[in-house]
Amino acid sequence: MNNEALKVTPFSGAAKSPCRLFGENVGPYPKHYFTWLYPDIQTNDWALQISFAGPDENVAGVWRTRENSDTFSLEYVQEGVFSFTQNGQHYTCRAGDLFVVQLGATMNMRCDSDYAVKKTIALVGSALPHLLTTMGMATVDVIPQIASSHIDDLFAKAFELVQNRPENHLQEASVLAYRLLLELSQHGQQRRLPEQLKNITHYLETNYAENITVEQLSSQFNIGSATLFRLFRKYMQSSPIELLIHFRMQRAKSLLLEQRYSVKDIAHQVGYRNPSFFTAEFKRLFGQTPSAFRKQNTPY
């Protein structure tokens, strides 16, 4: 594996401060097969336009973090499992789900299966922020199980336009971008997180070191355990405990990189009373032990 970090200059009209992109590759992965409509296309050139599109392949351990995103992209999962976090909300996305990287957001995407494939379409345009707001798409993170022949056809048509550039392809691509947003917005409106679920996820994020159980959450938030699981599956594509583990492991990775604490101390700080269980859980999720992760990411 190798780490990479880079600074990206934002598109004109996007978030004002620079976007920062970090990530970790595994061998030759991720493999991107993106085609740009035009490499130098700018936000203000069109009211709405496709910037680039194409599939990519990923393997376990590949991740990307984007701070203050200068990109708006639609990520349509075809195979495998991705962990997706945006502005503090965590989701597990499987084949048929679509996750949305929003302008100005802080997001993390990680491949959680041995192999995964997704299709990407990135959009730009001077009218894009306004359209996202009016269509209700500006706050959508994930649209679960959107797979259909219609959505597949729209993605296929976008790929065809950017690759082959037939006559009037710019006009066709702009119209297709609008059709795609309109289609997705009808599904995305159904994806708003209930206030109660927002409160529970915030509690998990801020109290990950505590010994939290489903029974405790049910009692504290006055919700039946069956309803709690149903809401998490419907809106988060994960369980309450899976989300708790996600928050613990993200904090553990940060502490490991600080080089200040032993693995045993970190295990206790993130809520594990048994360091051996913490190590096993870390290896299950990231494919390596905490010590190996620390050694690999030590710059000296």
Are 89 and 102 contained in the same domain?
yes
Are 140 and 21 contained in the same domain?
yes
Q: Which residues of the chain have pLDDT under 50?
A: 1-16
Tens digit of each residue's pLDDT (9 = 90 or more) over 85-134: 998 888 999 999 999 999 999 999 999 999 999 999 999 998 898 888 87
Average pLDDT along the chain: 86
Are 177 and 241 contained in the same domain?
no
Residues in Cβ contact with 223 at an 8 Å cutoff, skipping those fewer than 6 apart: 196, 200, 217, 231
Domain count, the chain: 2
Tell me the pTM.
0.65
Are 279 and 233 contained in the same domain?
yes
Q: Which of 190, 216, 243 finishes a domain?
A: 190
Q: Which of 145, 169, 190 finishes a domain?
A: 190
Range of the domain at 266: 195-296
CATH code for the domain of 210:
1.10.10.60
Are 258 and 213 contained in the same domain?
yes
Rounded Cα distance between 112 and 252, Å, is 17
Are 186 and 207 contained in the same domain?
no
The DSSP-derived string for 123-151 is EE-TTHHHHHHHTT-TT--EETT---HHH
